[in-house]
Homo-oligomer: A and B are copies of this chain.
Amino acid sequence: MIKAHGYAVHDAHSPLVPFEFERREPGAHDVQIEILYCGICHSDLHQIHNDWSNSIYPMVPGHEIVGRVVKVGAHVGKLKVGDLAGVGCMVDSCRQCPACQEDLEQYCAEGATLTYNDHERGNDKLTFGGYSDLIVVEERFVVKIPNSLDLKAVAPLLCAGITTYSPLRHWNVGPGQKVGVIGLGGLGHMGIKFAKALGAHVVMITTSPEKGKDASRLGADEILLSRDADAMAAHASSFDFLLDTIPVPHDLNPYVALLKRDRTLAIVGVLTELSPPLNGFSLIGGRKNVSGSAIGGMAETQEMIDFCAEHGIVSDVEMVTIQNVNSAYERLQKNDVKYRFVIDMASLRAQAA
């Protein structure tokens, strides 16, 4: 076993504190990564607080992990020592089900093994995430990161990036299309960048005029204020695709009204009730679809990273030390971040030294 250092929560109400634990020695297909940066995802906040009633403690959060490969197993092919590498929300899956066979491990019939707050397959060991100094992951669940990108700003791509890239690709967003990104946070700001890079006419749909201004800088062609009824009416039935990144329950009906016939609104932010409820007529009136999308498979995650390298896309980040992670959470709760906190793991090493 390898001794690892990190930060963990021990129950739903306490802050993150220093934590020592063990990682497995890398097996033949494993990659050992020295973690350099880890993004703070909004879901980390839900998980440490047990908002989804499935939290396991102690918990080392973090699933937006980038670092350098320091050791590889005998059968590892695509990565070598010294490479930059990334790990996202999953570290394992069944490999046998139709979804896994189709490179859609996130929809694994048995459930993918999550990077933290889960158990390793075949044993009862907890998985521990990226708020730590190292991680050991099977090669299939590691992506290779090109040297050309600003590494600290790559970290959020492993969750916020793939979560927005995958649905834009799945619903074939491209040139000639009018695409709306609803909500401007960690997910939304990536949605704008990707939709723009894919060639669409991008409309940022938000409640707040100030966010609108920033959206232009990020690449949005138009801003639509969702509280402006006249503006919403003027855009009725005109969108080819809507990416809904709002992380809390909200009324979908005004957004569905923006879709053209036969088009889709995909939610990526809300894991709880879509209330107030959808109205049947909203859908029936134009054969419209409401759908959802979860992260992306590992092959698509690599494709997304390569797309980012090609288009010079990274996340807009604000750096924090591991010692300040609890106050970063307080700011995140108030949406006070543009647009993703990333922990510089040098701060953890300095403390452990």
Contact = CB atoms under 8 A, between A and B. Distances in A.
Interface of A: 98-99, 104, 107, 109, 170, 237, 249, 261, 264, 267-294
A287 B291 CA distance: 6
Contacts of A287: 107, 170, 291-294
A261 B104 contact: yes
Contact of A285 (B237, B283, B292): B292
A281 B294 CA distance: 9
A1 to B, nearest CB: 34
Contact of A279 (B237, B272, B284): B272
Q: How many copies does the complex hold?
A: 2
B276 A277 contact: yes
Contacts of A281: 271-272, 292
Given A237-B109, A261-B104, A288 B292 contact: yes
B284 A268 contact: yes
B271 A280 contact: yes
A284 B294 contact: yes
A261 to B, nearest CB: 5
A298 to B, nearest CB: 16
Given A274-B279, A283-B292, A287-B293, 5 more contacts: A109-B237, A170-B287, A274-B277, A275-B277, A277-B278
Contacts of A283: 267, 290-292
A121 to B, nearest CB: 19
Nearest to A52: B281
Contacts of A261: 98-99, 104, 107
A290 B265 CA distance: 10
Given A237-B109, A261-B104, A284 B274 contact: no
